[in-house]
């Protein structure tokens, strides 16, 4: 083929590294992209582990120093899938090196970092993307289309939850995600950020919010290392949990809608319960990530006799992204949301268009995260 | 009021006696009937028990001999809610006495009994009704309306199950429902009869069937009596189970549709799982008695983008029966299906119209039950 | 029987009048009460309408002046099912007349009224009850039992919504429920009050709250009268909506749990969506009034292999209230929640025990309603 | 690595070709296999199309003559994903060439073909596998585990449906799947085969069956060719449909359980509704392919108070296959069932163990398909 080749360098090889690698490996198999994506280099600090990841995930090369990846003239895209405390430094260096920068969410650990990152990519004029992958679930993109088509009319409400339960056990160790200096925040940046992005994507900008952060368990056993993985084992020493277990807020959107958002790691029984409901004068939609191929839609123009929520299987050729995979009702999974995201990103890059979501979205998201934190401290409404 | 008074005499005071009593007590409270229904006399063999039932359920009088009830000139309607072995005798006597006859299903324990009962009411020219109460759930009546309105187009399929699990324990005693000489049959007459009625109601007559009856547990402890209730306690003596634990069949309907029906008391976890699905060229409907206020409807004329099963809450003023009770989505229960049935029965009686369902329905139903039994014995298809 | 007779006088004959009447008519049929409940007198301002209601609902007498009912020495219980602006006057008069007082929720239109009402019944030493009927759904009472049994462990979260959509149409007229001087408030007192009661019932007292009231449509056509029913028809003149369309709040409970509550009449597609979820260290429960016979329960002590939410049909003889009605999985409806409530009320009255919920609950509830209103005005957290 | 390299040759490049290709591409990325799987050659008759498929799917070479692939000494595994009329010839040639043979289901178009294929692989002593991929959904494998662990006790019932609706439109053209000489049969071999396999996998062998095949629409427009794809367009000429639109049967299993199976392409609204329910004395399970990450489990040993169906998200590290992908409740899709199947196949091959399912399963499956066909013709029970 005469397609342009795009070399990707990925920093990070844990959960997100695995998901991003799968996306690069699969994207050209399901999408007819304008470019050829090549998995050039993966990077991590532990040589044995990153070498193994390179082999497992299908990367041609590996590195242990991200600076070398950024400096490598062969590489076109730097993808950052590290813990949050490294995002800013890598992203800014990558932008300055003229690379496109793809970054996990939230882009920074603080609003200030996010601002510097946005400034850097804008100054450098490089493409940039942020991995708010749930926008790219077919059912969510269908919700967006229904809203854009006016099917929901004037929007009154959004209620969103992102509920998990993986740290309910007080003996669960103090892993990096529970340490502010590494993770930046707890549920706020990790999962509240996702539903905030869905709010911005589907309803537009927030106008004001009133938030509450809470930590149920304030001390945990320090994490021990097993097979190079920190946190796989608890030790007997205790340390302070410095992030939130719960982040929730009420909101007013600029379009006049009201919102209620709740993110928690203490919702026992809920594993990945990223659910939202939006009510408008024309209809309503409901999405739940645990059944991510489905969208419920209430059409308020339907006659009373047959009114109700319709369970749409967003797996049809007519639905966003779905036609690239399998026939109707042959479902896709979590991994495909990343494939869809990078498909869009490479396509827009090739066409010189803004990628969505990008660092502007990442920065705007972080403004809300920051406001939730300040609101919780001051116990007051914050205007955005 | 100047409404005509209708005196009812009810034979039987157990589960069905309670449900029928409730229907007579409530029907005039929710429906504006052309007649005044009066709960005149309840009848049962054990005086203490029937006396208590009269007081509990709200009957003016009680009797221990059904013949006296039938002979009572004040009484207009004889309602038969006894075990099946008494139906024919009482019904025929009531018809000969010029009473309207309402009867639990299946009307007889054999096809021959059912025929004699039908002949008797027709000869006497008295009104007659059979308690296939599930027709009267708003969601089922809505399904009927959608079919009658052509919304399902040409019907291809009906699959129906009535699943319970109350006799899975081999130590469950040999109660009357497990004795052919009293109950006539097991699942076939008790619950298969219900889904057969729904098949006839919604799709019309059966053309041919191929059935299978099966008994998983062939011996059980004889039932002991507790507080006048046979079967409340198991004894140590064993007796033979003479009825079917399961009744299932494949069917062709006269309209060309195919059916699959399955009734069982061995479907562990299913308590009252009377569920059907009907597929036609224009759409499909799904009903489940355990969520009896809901009907799922798939409209095949809807655009692909938003196609799916719509969960209709059949509780709106525009839905059959529902407007007589509470506002939308304030659900009704099992008891109300009987209220709806007697409301229809008294209305049609007063207007001189055929009651639906009546003994003709009861007889036609029994023809299928009988065919299933014969088919199971001969292992062959039976033409109806 | 030698049971004591209790004469009830009911003030109000619309929706709530119908539901309360049904409860008094049915309670003795399903429960073996220590007293005989007699439907003595129903009262309303329009003679023709109340006369018809008396006949329809089964009351022996009717009145058009509530003072006469309160003054009637034959009457033991005054039940108040009028719009909120009449509650206080009637309740206080009834208490002073030595009657037991049952009252619809919220008991007063203001906290001050509620306080005077509570003082009156306590001073008079009469029994008192408030119709927070959803406590009495078997599935809700089962949730309470599981919590009391420690099955949910330490409670972390409650999220509750009560969503409806009946006034989304801007042409829907300005009925009494949209007028502050009659209704006291909009969603806050009407439906937020219900989920607040469930919060108090299941988790105990609130510690502090942060609320938001909002009115989406601020002007509506004035209501015209049809057949004595105000609001059945819209006129062309416009009037101001003086109540809230939405009431929502974040909360901290005294037990340390966090709450999110949202009540709306603008949640298109939601008709009676009184849903709550409670998460504790030991497990979680989910209830939805539209499927009120079901409770979802997650048992955190179950092994991982088979963990998940269990769909309990709270219709078994072992579940609260359910054994009084039908066999397992033969569901009950909205009306039965009132039957259960008055069954408990008469039983506790006869035994000289506090009725639950009573005016203390009504008053405590109103403290939250009042705090939500003040918090919304001041945009600040309110300590309770 | 020192792992042995396995070269695969795939015959067929349409829907199944895409799914199998994805499996080979991904299997080594998620599973730590004992071999290195190499996508050596893909084969199809249209050179342009297969060349494109090779590039899209990631095959190193392509061929237009399957005989060359079979003859290629570099290739270890021949995977047959063609229409059914080519299976036998290719499989037998591949076996005779000493290749491992993987084949789509049903293995042959007739029982006689299946027998010859089984004989060929057994005679050649080569590994063989059949793509009954639904066994490999984590939730189905979990059902199998629960049964093997005795959690369902004595099995009473299996009811299974595989419902689709893609040919309800009478103008849908006469594609190869509707022609007996190419497809062998309609729903029987295409989708009934899948639920039959699940029956054999979960309950063991069938004892006798009674079947019914039916064709609702007996004539259709001949298919026209668009872009090399036959059937993409209907022509105006009509041709005879020579396969079944529906295949259903009742069954007795050798373990004494009863079965009801129904496969249809006329179940409007159902797209990929491969659902089964199994009831045993110890509990029940329910699976639905459209929500393939979930298994419902009823545990009959649970106390009445909290009994019900538990919705297990079979996505946990403790569930079969699930741990190879993403964290709990991050779902997988249809494609992963094929990955799991080939992971098992390569592992067992390397360990010299029988692959499951293999041609023995394929042949036994075909015995049931054949019996259903004969039973439908003779309208009688067929002993297996």
Cβ separation of B216 and D248 shorter than 8 Å? no
**What is A154-189 written as a DSSP string?**
SEEEEEEEEE--TT-STTS-B-GGG-HHHHS-SHII
Q: Which residues make Cβ contacts (< 8 Å) with residue B250, sequence separation at least 6? A: B209, B210, B258, B259, B260, B261, D210, D212, D248, D249, D250
User: How far apart (Å, rounded) are the C-alpha atoms in residues C108 and C119?
Assistant: 13
CA C339 to chain centre: 13
User: How far apart (Å, rounded) are the C-alpha atoms in residues A358 and A345?
Assistant: 9
Indicate which of D162, D187, D269 best probes the interface with B, i.e. most B CBs within 10 Å of its own CB.
Answer: D269
Tokens 């489940």 -> residue: B288
Cβ separation of C333 and B313 shorter than 8 Å? no
In the predicted model, what is the mean pLDDT of chain B?
Answer: 96
User: If residue B310 lies in a helix (H) or strand (E), which one and from where to where?
Assistant: strand B309-313
Q: For residue A254, give how far its alpha carbon lies from the nearest alpha carbon of chain C (Å).
A: 14
Percent of chain D with pLDDT over 70: 98
Chain C contact residues (CB < 8 Å to B) = 1, 15, 19, 21-22, 25-26, 28-29, 55-58, 166, 271-273, 289-293, 313, 315, 325-336
Tokens 């994207």 -> residue: A27
Span C244-284, pLDDT tens digits: 999 999 999 999 999 999 999 999 999 999 999 999 999 99
Residue count (chain B): 384
What is the structure's pLDDT at A285? Answer: 98
Cβ separation of C310 and D308 shorter than 8 Å? yes
Is residue B343's pLDDT more than 90? yes
Q: Which two tokens stand for residue C83?
A: 């719009």
Burial of C34 (0-12, 13-18, 19+ CB in 10 A): middle
Is residue A17's pLDDT more than 90? yes
B156, B262, B282 member nearest D260 (Cβ): B262
Q: Which residues make Cβ contacts (< 8 Å) with residue B119, sequence separation at least 6? A: none
Span B321-341, pLDDT tens digits: 999 999 999 999 999 999 999
B232 band by pLDDT with thresholds 50, 70 and 90: low
Residue B253 in 3-state DSSP? strand
Closest alpha carbon within chain B to A315:
B305
Could you tell me which of C1, C78, C7, C74 has the C-alpha nearest to residue C43?
C78
Chain C residues with CB inside 8 Å of B293's CB?
Answer: 290
D165, D279, D282 member nearest B267 (Cβ): D279
Span A270-305, pLDDT tens digits: 999 999 999 999 999 999 999 999 999 999 999 999
User: How far apart (Å, rounded) are the C-alpha atoms in residues D384 and D367?
Assistant: 8
B216, B258, B284 member nearest D269 (Cβ): B284
What is the structure's pLDDT at D205? Answer: 98
CA C1 to chain centre: 33
Could you tell me which of B289, B78, B170 has the C-alpha nearest to residue D281?
B170
Q: For residue D294, give how far its alpha carbon lies from the nearest alpha carbon of chain C (Å).
A: 10
What is the structure's pLDDT at D232? Answer: 64
Indicate which of B175, B333, B337, B338 best probes the interface with C, i.e. most C CBs within 10 Å of its own CB.
Answer: B333
What is the structure's pLDDT at A202? Answer: 98
Cβ separation of B335 and C325 shorter than 8 Å? yes
Q: Which residues of A306-318 are buried (b: 16+ CB within 10 A; e: fewer)?
A: bbbbbbbbbbbee
Cβ separation of D262 and B260 shorter than 8 Å? yes
Cβ separation of A313 and D15 shorter than 8 Å? no
Q: For residue C308, give how far its alpha carbon lies from the nearest alpha carbon of chain B (Å).
A: 16
Could you tell me which of A110, A107, A115, A161 has the C-alpha nearest to residue A131?
A107
What is the structure's pLDDT at A224? Answer: 79
What is the structure's pLDDT at C270? Answer: 98
Is residue A227's pLDDT more than 70? no
Q: What is the dihedral of CA C242, C247, C250, C253, to 10 degrees?
A: 100
Cβ separation of A29 and D58 shorter than 8 Å? yes
Q: Which residues make Cβ contacts (< 8 Å) with residue D328, sequence separation at least 6? A: A166, A271, A272, D313, D315, D316, D317, D322
Would you say the pTM of this structure is higher than 0.90? Answer: yes
User: If residue C211 lies in a helix (H) or strand (E), which one and from where to where?
Assistant: strand C206-214
B224 band by pLDDT with thresholds 50, 70 and 90: confident
What Cα–Cα distance (Å) separates residue D368 from each residue in B259, C381, D187, D197, D278? 21, 69, 13, 10, 19
Q: For residue B343, give how far its alpha carbon lies from the nearest alpha carbon of chain C (Å).
A: 15
Q: What is the CA radius of gyration of chain D?
A: 21
Q: For residue D146, give how far its alpha carbon lies from the nearest alpha carbon of chain C (Å).
A: 9
Percent of chain B with pLDDT over 90: 95
β D206-214/D382-383 pair status: antiparallel
Cβ separation of C313 and D308 shorter than 8 Å? yes
What is the structure's pLDDT at B226? Answer: 63
User: How far apart (Å, rounded) are the C-alpha atoms in residues D102 and A320?
Assistant: 34
Residue count (chain A): 384
Q: For residue D262, give how far its alpha carbon lies from the nearest alpha carbon of chain B (Å).
A: 8
Span B41-98, pLDDT tens digits: 999 999 999 999 999 999 999 999 999 999 999 999 999 999 999 999 999 999 999 9
β D100-103/A128-130 pair status: unpaired
Is residue D2's pLDDT more than 80? no
What is the structure's pLDDT at D270? Answer: 98
Residue count (chain C): 384
Q: For residue C29, give how far its alpha carbon lies from the nearest alpha carbon of chain B (Å).
A: 5
What is the structure's pLDDT at A228? Answer: 56
Cβ separation of A57 and D29 shorter than 8 Å? yes
Indicate which of C152, C157, C298 best probes the interface with A, i.e. most A CBs within 10 Å of its own CB.
Answer: C157
Could you tell me which of B55, B102, B58 has the C-alpha nearest to residue B77?
B102
User: How far apart (Å, rounded) are the C-alpha atoms in residues C364 and A328?
Assistant: 53
Is residue C228's pLDDT more than 60? no
In this prediction, residues B336-348 reach a mean pLDDT of: 98
**What is D10-25 written as a DSSP string?**
EE--SHHHHHHHHHHH
Cβ separation of C57 and B29 shorter than 8 Å? yes
Instruction: Strands of A300-349 (E only): list them.
Output: 309-313
D234 band by pLDDT with thresholds 50, 70 and 90: confident
What is the structure's pLDDT at D81? Answer: 97
Is residue D228's pLDDT more than 90? no
Q: φ and ψ at B109, to 5 degrees? A: -85, -15
Chain D residues with CB inside 8 Å of A139's CB?
Answer: none
Is residue D230's pLDDT more than 80? no
What is the structure's pLDDT at C224? Answer: 79
Cβ separation of C269 and A260 shorter than 8 Å? no
Q: Angle D263-D265-D270 (CA atoms, 0-180°, nearest 5)?
A: 90
Is residue B234's pLDDT more than 80? no
In the predicted model, what is the mean pLDDT of chain C?
Answer: 96
In this prediction, residues C109-124 reach a mean pLDDT of: 97
ipTM of the complex: 0.96
Percent of chain B with pLDDT over 70: 98
In the predicted model, what is the mean pLDDT of chain D?
Answer: 96
C232 band by pLDDT with thresholds 50, 70 and 90: low
Cβ separation of A316 and B304 shorter than 8 Å? yes
Contact A365, A382 (CB under 8 A): no
What is the structure's pLDDT at B216? Answer: 98
Is residue D1's pLDDT more than 60? no
Cβ separation of C291 and B292 shorter than 8 Å? no
Furthest CA-CA distance within chain A: 65
User: How far apart (Å, rounded) are the C-alpha atoms in residues B357 and B148?
Assistant: 17
Cβ separation of D264 and B280 shorter than 8 Å? no
Contact A208, A251 (CB under 8 A): yes
In this prediction, residues C203-212 reach a mean pLDDT of: 98
Chain B residues with CB inside 8 Å of A319's CB?
Answer: 305
Chain C residues with CB inside 8 Å of A372's CB?
Answer: none
Cβ separation of B248 and D262 shorter than 8 Å? no
What is the structure's pLDDT at C235? Answer: 80
Subunits next to A (3 or more Cβ pairs <8 Å) are B, C, D
In the predicted model, what is the mean pLDDT of chain A?
Answer: 96
Is residue A71's pLDDT more than 70? yes
A304, A310, A318 member nearest B309 (Cβ): A310
β B4-11/B77-80 pair status: parallel
What Cα–Cα distance (Å) separates residue A176 from each residue in A15, A234, D83? 14, 13, 53
Span D15-44, pLDDT tens digits: 999 999 999 999 999 999 999 999 999 999
Residue A209 in 3-state DSSP? strand
Q: For residue B138, give how far its alpha carbon lies from the nearest alpha carbon of chain A (Å).
A: 11
What is the structure's pLDDT at C352? Answer: 97
Cβ separation of B330 and C334 shorter than 8 Å? yes
Span D273-288, pLDDT tens digits: 999 999 999 999 999 9
Q: For residue A26, give how far its alpha carbon lies from the nearest alpha carbon of chain D (Å).
A: 9
Cβ separation of C312 and D306 shorter than 8 Å? yes
What is the structure's pLDDT at C231? Answer: 63
Tokens 């037998």 -> residue: D92
β B258-264/B273-280 pair status: unpaired
Contact D10, D43 (CB under 8 A): yes
Closest alpha carbon within chain A to C261:
A260
Chain A residues with CB inside 8 Å of C267's CB?
Answer: 156-157, 277, 279, 284
């Amino acid at each position: 083929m005469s397609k342009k080749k795009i070399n990707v360098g990925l920093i990070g090889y844990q959960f997100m590294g695995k998901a991003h690698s799968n996306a690069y490996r699969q994207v050209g198999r399901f999408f007819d992209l304008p470019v050829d994506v090549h998995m050039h280099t993966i990077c991590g600090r532990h040589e044995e582990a990153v070498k193994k990841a390179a082999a497992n995930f299908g990367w041609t090369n590996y590195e242990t120093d991200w600076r070398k990846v950024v400096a490598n003239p062969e590489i076109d895209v730097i993808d950052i899938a590290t813990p949050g405390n490294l995002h800013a430094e890598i992203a800014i260096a990558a932008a300055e090196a003229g690379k496109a920068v793809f970054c996990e969410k939230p882009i920074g650990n603080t609003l200030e970092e996010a601002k510097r990152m946005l400034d850097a990519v804008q100054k450098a004029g490089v493409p940039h993307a942020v991995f708010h992958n749930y926008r790219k679930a077919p059912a969510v993109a269908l919700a967006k289309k229904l809203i854009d088509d006016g099917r929901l009319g004037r929007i009154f409400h959004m209620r969103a939850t992102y509920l998990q339960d993986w740290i309910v056990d007080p003996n669960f160790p103090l892993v990096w995600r529970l340490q502010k200096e590494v993770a930046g925040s707890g549920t706020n940046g990790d999962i509240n950020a996702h539903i905030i992005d869905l709010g911005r994507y589907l309803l537009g900008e927030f106008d004001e919010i009133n938030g509450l952060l809470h930590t149920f368990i304030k001390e945990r056993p320090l994490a021990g290392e097993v097979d190079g993985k920190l946190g796989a084992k608890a030790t007997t020493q205790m340390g302070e949990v410095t992030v939130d277990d719960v982040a929730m807020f009420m909101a007013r959107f600029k379009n006049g809608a009201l919102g209620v958002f709740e993110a928690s790691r203490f919702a026992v029984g809920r594993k990945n319960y990223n659910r939202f409901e939006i009510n408008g004068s024309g209809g309503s939609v409901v999405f739940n990530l645990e059944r991510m191929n489905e969208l419920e839609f209430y059409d308020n123009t339907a006659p009373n006799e047959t009114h109700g929520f319709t369970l749409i299987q967003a797996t049809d050729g007519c639905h966003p992204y779905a036609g690239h995979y399998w026939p109707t009702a042959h479902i896709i999974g979590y991994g495909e949301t990343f494939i869809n995201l990078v498909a869009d990103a490479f396509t827009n890059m090739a066409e010189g268009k803004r990628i969505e979501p990008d660092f502007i979205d990442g920065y705007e998201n972080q403004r809300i995260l920051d406001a939730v934190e300040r609101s919780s401290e001051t116990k007051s409404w914050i205007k955005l």
